[in-house]
Chain A
Amino acid sequence: MVEITSPRFKANAREALADKDLQRALTKVPSGFIAKRAKAREKLPEFDALRDRARDIKNHTLAHLDLYLERFEAKVKENGGHVHWAADAAEAREIVLKICRDLDARTVTKGKTMISEEIGLNDYLEEQGIEPVETDLGEYIIQLRKEHPSHIIAPAIHVNRDQVEADFRRVHGHLPQDRDLTAPETLLGEARGILRDRFLKADVGITGANFLVAETGTSIIVTNEGNGDLTQTLPKAHVVLASIEKITPTLQDVSQNLRVLARSATGQDMSVYTTFSTGPRRADDPDGPGEYHVVLLDNGRSSMLGSEFEEMLRCIRCGACMNHCPVYHTVGGHAYGWVYPGPMGAVLTPSLIGVDKAGHLPNASTFCGRCEEVCPMRIPLPKMMRHWREREFERHLQPATQRWGIKGWAFFARRPALYRAASGIAMRLLGAMGRKRGRFASLPLAGGWTSHRDFPSPQGKTFQQQWAERKR
């Protein structure tokens, strides 16, 4: 299970800021993703209209989620596959274990899936004596490093190329020491070589799903490495891990939403591979898995339906919100302390693990609004973070100093006459103290501000005082 460190977000952030390797790696985020998305958007004049359509499709789906889930289940069965409903992470893990046990599986290969992270599958399988092998390059790297993804589409974005090279030389000890690993392609090539063997040995292949199609019972993954295809076609069984909101009514709807997914994520028109899986291998298929299982995970999502957080279920995990988030750019994904980082994590994580544990996340935002501006599904992320803050305020979950700071301020702001009298005196005093120098290097009760920057001095009398005098 991924350890939850969200309650120590502040300490995590401080460590992240002091970590030079991480800071070096994080420069790739804004420089790598932002311009590419902007270009892709520019090239497609109807991009913003497509976002509206994508939002509408998902809203419709969520309004009829039960119906589409049932249709999906019926279709999968018709195609000879199995659907398993998992209410929580523990149930999902057990379902996967049972499928593996029934096939005497020793090794499972895995395509990239965040649901696997959410349910802590790798550690669990290892405990049960089954070896999980990550086949996505980024996931493979972090598995070697015994880490967790720090980004939902670029799991190893926090690692630098030279660190990967060192890891490969350490772990792939049987390869010649003088081999050239300087280009990123050489790293991919080496990982491929190692993995080829594992693909052939695997008994079960586990992937996630970007979409589940209700109309056909199809699961769809998009990748750039093609590892997902080998993961799901070679072993005896293909297990799809997906959360319930991945449902999309028709193939037509999927083709529409695919048009915004890759553009928002990496700026590509389409990802290199878009793979459709519909049931197990049929008699006349040249290849394919003998069994096809879909594990549908709820894990708290159905309780978001009908709440002020329902819109979060439109998320297609493109990563654009974190790619554009200035807070993510400074602290990276691990600081958020659980599976989902950045703005989408700031909304989703409290829903899934509780706002009492994840309370920092929706607060650690300036509400700059860049996430909402780029979200292909037009999810109002700042608004929902504010809703979390409201819940925290109602439940007295924020630090007392913060709560009483706001309450104290509001006491005056609600009483204009008192406010004018008090602020008039205070500003004259502060102004008299600070005007000469123009600023304060430190101020009582304002350490959060003045530990890093000066506090500009007030000019003296308030605007309202001066205005009244001028008008007299």
Chain B
Amino acid sequence: MTTTRSGGPRIGLFATCLVDLIRPSIGFAAAKLLEDAGCTVEVPPQTCCGQPAYNSGDRADAKAIARRTIEAFEPYDHVVAPSGSCSATMSKHYPELFAGDPAWEGRARAHAAKTHELVSFLVDVLSVTAVSAQWEGSATYHDSCSGLRELKVHAQPRNLLGGVAGLELREMAHPEVCCGFGGTFCVKYPDISNVMVGRKTDDIAATEADMVLAGDLGCLMNIAGKLKREGRRTEARHVAEVLAGMTDEPAIGEAER
């Protein structure tokens, strides 16, 4: 591992396209958490991990986008993303995408091996056990599918949230059930997606928590959008915002104060 002057690992932060476009504050929260843990954080030019193309069956575009991403992040010790879904695309699917490609398979594997979802990276790799953040109120945590099933992100965010002063964690009955986002699924099959997200917001509402948290902005936009449409008051935020103590920005879908 190459180290920087500060001694910590050099991180290429992969913000994810949604965070880049819709909610940059999550990117800054991720950077703060990583810097607080002793890392040097850089943000090389980036677009998207290629998952929308990959999951739509468009392998050629997925590969072209993946090659760009791999190249851009080659200089770093680790690639860290505030998203289970994008991390899983890079760490689980890039090698499959380039299997049998002599020029790129090795590079894809190297990229995959050093890619991590933000919260599990903090806990599992950097051994962070507590954060110095505060949030008054109750929160419930939604396990987004890729993070949970492909990357085994489950206990890590709960453990760190347990250390946030003032925050009371309340579990949903089914935190592990898909919210119905599914990338392009939610616009290809809007009626089905709507029922799924409706079940999710019912489950959230039943906890009577003030806020719902998750590790993926896609799911959060879906959930927040539904909560707002239903006129519910539950806030939605990325878990990194709370862990970094950066909750000044209005919550997702919330009006400016």
Contacts and interface: CB of A to CB of B under 8 A. Distances in A.
* A and B interact: yes
B125 interface: no
Given A370-B178, A413-B50, 16 more contacts: A326-B199, A368-B177, A368-B182, A386-B57, A406-B56, A406-B61, A410-B65, A414-B65, A417-B45, A423-B21, A436-B256, A438-B228, A452-B190, A452-B194, A461-B24, A466-B24
B188 A402 contact: yes
Given A373-B149, A449-B225, A454-B229, A366 B178 contact: yes
Interface in B219-236: 221-222, 224-226, 228-229
Contact of A453 (B15, B149, B229): B229
B222 A453 contact: yes
Contacts of B185: 363-367
A454 B225 contact: yes
Given A10-B189, A392-B57, A366 B224 contact: no
B192 A364 contact: yes
Contacts of B177: 326, 368
Nearest to B67: A414
B189 A13 contact: yes
9 pairs of A and B residues whose beta carbons are closest in the complex: A366-B182, A389-B57, A448-B187, A453-B225, A393-B57, A410-B61, A463-B24, A368-B178, A456-B253
B196 A330 contact: yes
Given A391-B57, A413-B65, A416-B47, A436 B255 contact: yes
A449 B190 contact: yes
B227 to A, nearest CB: 8
Contact of B55 (A389, A392, A394, A453): A389
A414 B61 contact: yes
B46 interface: yes
Majority secondary structure, A binding face: helix
B250 interface: yes
28 contacts: A13-B189, A327-B189, A327-B192, A366-B180, A366-B182, A367-B146, A370-B145, A389-B55, A390-B58, A393-B59, A406-B53, A407-B61, A410-B52, A410-B58, A410-B64, A419-B47, A420-B45, A439-B254, A439-B255, A451-B190, A452-B191, A453-B222, A455-B221, A455-B225, A456-B221, A456-B224, A463-B19, A467-B27
Nearest to B41: A467
A410 B53 contact: yes
A449 B250 contact: no
Interface string B10-38: 00000101011111110110010000000
B43 interface: yes
Interface string B139-157: 0000001100110000000
Contacts of B199: 326
B169 interface: no
Interface string A357-378: 0000001111111101100000
Contacts of B40: none
Contacts of B254: 438-439
Interface residues of B, number: 73
B124 interface: no
Contacts of B191: 10, 13-14, 17, 452
A47 to B, nearest CB: 17
Contacts of B73: none
Contacts of B255: 436-439
A420 B44 CA distance: 12
B154 to A, nearest CB: 13
Nearest to B19: A463
Contacts of A466: 24, 28
A464 interface: yes
Given A330-B195, A454-B225, A402 B256 contact: no
A447 to B, nearest CB: 8
A452 B195 CA distance: 9
A426 B58 CA distance: 25
A297 B15 CA distance: 51
A438 B145 contact: no
Nearest to A391: B57
A262 B181 CA distance: 32
B190 A448 contact: yes
B121 to A, nearest CB: 18
A390 B249 CA distance: 40
A414 B249 contact: no
B139 to A, nearest CB: 18
A282 B222 CA distance: 65
A392 B57 CA distance: 7
B17 A413 contact: yes
Nearest to A13: B192
B52 A406 contact: yes
B46 A416 contact: yes
A435 interface: yes
B56 A389 contact: yes
A168 interface: no
B149 A412 contact: no
B68 interface: yes
Interface in A417-472: 417, 419-420, 423, 426-427, 435-439, 441, 446, 448-449, 451-459, 461-464, 466-467
A448 B188 contact: yes
A458 B221 CA distance: 11
A62 B27 CA distance: 48
Contacts of A437: 255
A398 interface: yes
B54 interface: yes
Interface string B237-257: 000000000000110111110
- Most chain B CB neighbours (cut-off 10 Å) among A393, A402, A412, A414: A414
A137 interface: no
A452 B193 contact: yes
Interface string B159-172: 00000000000000
A164 B80 CA distance: 55
A234 interface: no
Given A330-B196, A419-B47, A458-B21, A367 B182 contact: yes
